[in-house]
A and B are shown apart, each in its own frame.
Chain A
């Protein structure tokens, strides 16, 4: 193999330093648990401070939700290097499963998270089985097509999805129904979801599966030669990622209390958003997606609130511009840039 251009690598992997020849010490799962707990504590304080500001709470709920979704996408998309643009489908499955069970049979959304996860995983494995034969951009395009197919199907089968009219979920406030009058409980639920996805991602990354996924990402043939069942590893990563994405869809459905194809199967607002956030934050790193969401989602809702009325679509324009800037100057995302700065600082001190 030729000398690999370290800068060309979109963000690092695992510990992800990649600046020099020495690699930063790889942390253990226990260390990451501590860090995740600290993050949770910090967000709890934020929620407490803004507990009576509905605008900020709404923004935080969305930020945490998308941070979690992007973290989930990152398991297969970042660690495993399989650039899925079809995660919107798993998101929609979670949303529709929960919405249907709640709407028709009044099943508590807390319970319907489980069938939603399972269904999302099954569909993910079923559609990934053939698409994983494709590599790189071909895989990405195939998964993009998946999202479009799902859109048409969801519009057509209106007995399950309510078709183009969508499903409006009845407002019956209560913890069991996951319906609240205030935005605070939603924001708390989203933080919970974020912490869960971070823990799962850390567990995967620091375990055997994480190494397998990274090996598959770096060189599939070499992974095979090392005795790794490449297809099985990809499918496992995809199933875990899709299950978490399904949870996100369910929470989104209960927060909005409305599900229709243009909302949940929207390519630019859902399907591509997960990887956009991960790319900007630092794809393949544990905390990159979180950093990306902390930047993108508040920025977007601010733009929508201030300029959305006068210049519709300005948020997309600015997001696109940001992505170009990151692709040009911060190939390893915010996380990579921060890590580089930290290493330079430490290098300068020693």
Chain B
């Protein structure tokens, strides 16, 4: 089951600085949407604002038919929206299994708790092996998988991933993106991912937005963007 996300005229920032200036953004139900752009373009701010971590200054955010613009971060998992923060942000002194349990503690997650635990272990077999280990002892790739699995435990309809490729080797990046795609297909989730690794992001997504200095400068199907010489030279180093 999936859900759509609609962002209209979103403004956000910190203190005096305005980071995001009037973004319109959509993710249809079941779609994988990438937001790409250089460092400091406002990608993380965009995700954090949608996730309620920092407040929107103007504009609306709708999850399906529900207006979530003013909702606090901790209320959103119960509505079906999960955020996988940059670097995974696991609880290092809890075991892998406990980390997964933390994701499933929400009202939404607890309904099919043990079933879900089996399911994510099925999806990420490495986590089954590592379940009794401290999360802090995982490698970068395992950590990212564990963070995604933790989000899945809450039975979301939409997952937002903040730079899943950060700190991973190219091979692992590819592997994580493959898993994301498989996850979206198997569970019919909507995925919004924010990436600096433009070529991988365009490879996995259906549609992409190019973010520059807090505004959307392009939006097109990913296949079209990855063939565009301007994008290739600006972001993919080709």
Chain B interface bracket (under 10, 10 to 19, 20 to 34, 35 or more) = 35 or more
Q: Could you mark each residue 68-101 of chain B with 1 if its beta carbon is under 8 Å from any beta carbon of chain A, else 0? A: 0000111111100011110111111111001001
Assuming the A-B contacts A1-B87, A1-B89, A12-B93, are A227 and B132 also in contact, with contact meaning beta carbons closer than 8 angstroms in the complex? no
Q: Cβ of A6 < 8 Å from any Cβ of B? A: yes
Interchain CB contact under 8 A, A225 and B84: yes
Extra inter-chain contacts (14) besides given A1-B90, A9-B93, A23-B133, CB under 8 Å = A4-B92, A4-B136, A6-B134, A14-B93, A18-B134, A22-B132, A22-B134, A215-B94, A221-B85, A222-B90, A223-B91, A225-B85, A226-B150, A229-B75
Interchain CB contact under 8 A, B154 and A13: no
When chains A and B are docked, how far (Å) is the Cα of A169 from the Cα of B136? 54
Nearest chain A residue, comparing its CB with the CB of B85: A225
When chains A and B are docked, how far (Å) is the Cα of A18 from the Cα of B95? 11
When chains A and B are docked, how far (Å) is the Cα of A223 from the Cα of B150? 11
CB distance from A185 to the nearest CB of B (A): 42
Interchain CB contact under 8 A, A222 and B91: yes
Interchain CB contact under 8 A, B92 and A1: yes
Interchain CB contact under 8 A, A211 and B53: no
CB distance from B81 to the nearest CB of A (A): 10
Q: Cβ of A21 < 8 Å from any Cβ of B? A: yes
A-B contact count (CB 8 A): 98
* 18 pairs, A vs B, C-beta closer than 8 Å: A1-B92, A4-B136, A13-B93, A18-B93, A22-B132, A23-B133, A214-B94, A218-B91, A219-B89, A221-B85, A222-B89, A222-B91, A224-B74, A225-B51, A225-B84, A227-B74, A227-B78, A228-B105
When chains A and B are docked, how far (Å) is the Cα of A23 from the Cα of B75? 31
Q: Could you mark each residue 195-232 of chain A with 1 if its beta carbon is under 8 Å from any beta carbon of chain B, else 0? A: 00000000000001001101100110111111111100
CB distance from B75 to the nearest CB of A (A): 8
Interchain CB contact under 8 A, B94 and A218: yes
Most buried by A among B53, B91, B94: B91
Q: Cβ of B168 < 8 Å from any Cβ of A? A: no
Interchain CB contact under 8 A, B94 and A229: no
Q: Cβ of B137 < 8 Å from any Cβ of A? A: yes
Q: Cβ of B4 < 8 Å from any Cβ of A? A: no
Interchain CB contact under 8 A, B133 and A226: no
When chains A and B are docked, how far (Å) is the Cα of A9 from the Cα of B136? 12
A-chain residues with CB within 8 Å of residue B89 when the two chains form the complex: 1, 219, 221-222, 225
CB distance from A223 to the nearest CB of B (A): 8
A-chain residues with CB within 8 Å of residue B75 when the two chains form the complex: 227, 229
CB distance from A211 to the nearest CB of B (A): 6
B-chain residues with CB within 8 Å of residue A9 when the two chains form the complex: 93
B-chain residues with CB within 8 Å of residue A212 when the two chains form the complex: 105
Nearest chain A residue, comparing its CB with the CB of B95: A23
Q: Cβ of B141 < 8 Å from any Cβ of A? A: no
CB distance from B49 to the nearest CB of A (A): 14
User: Of A18, A211, A227, which is within 8 A of B154 by CB?
Assistant: A227
B-chain residues with CB within 8 Å of residue A221 when the two chains form the complex: 53, 85, 89
Interface residues of B in 26-76 (CB under 8 A from A): 51, 53, 72-76
B-chain residues with CB within 8 Å of residue A227 when the two chains form the complex: 74-78, 105-106, 108-109, 154
A-chain residues with CB within 8 Å of residue B73 when the two chains form the complex: 224-225
Q: Cβ of B103 < 8 Å from any Cβ of A? A: yes
Q: Cβ of A3 < 8 Å from any Cβ of B? A: yes
CB distance from B122 to the nearest CB of A (A): 21
Interchain CB contact under 8 A, A225 and B83: yes
Interchain CB contact under 8 A, B102 and A215: yes
When chains A and B are docked, how far (Å) is the Cα of A214 from the Cα of B87? 19
When chains A and B are docked, how far (Å) is the Cα of A214 from the Cα of B105? 14
Nearest chain A residue, comparing its CB with the CB of B76: A227
Interface residues of B in 107-155 (CB under 8 A from A): 108-109, 132-134, 136-137, 143, 150-151, 154
B-chain residues with CB within 8 Å of residue A224 when the two chains form the complex: 53, 73-74
Most buried by A among B85, B103, B134: B134
B-chain residues with CB within 8 Å of residue A215 when the two chains form the complex: 91, 94, 102
A-chain residues with CB within 8 Å of residue B102 when the two chains form the complex: 211, 215, 223, 226, 228
Most buried by A among B90, B92, B106, B150: B92
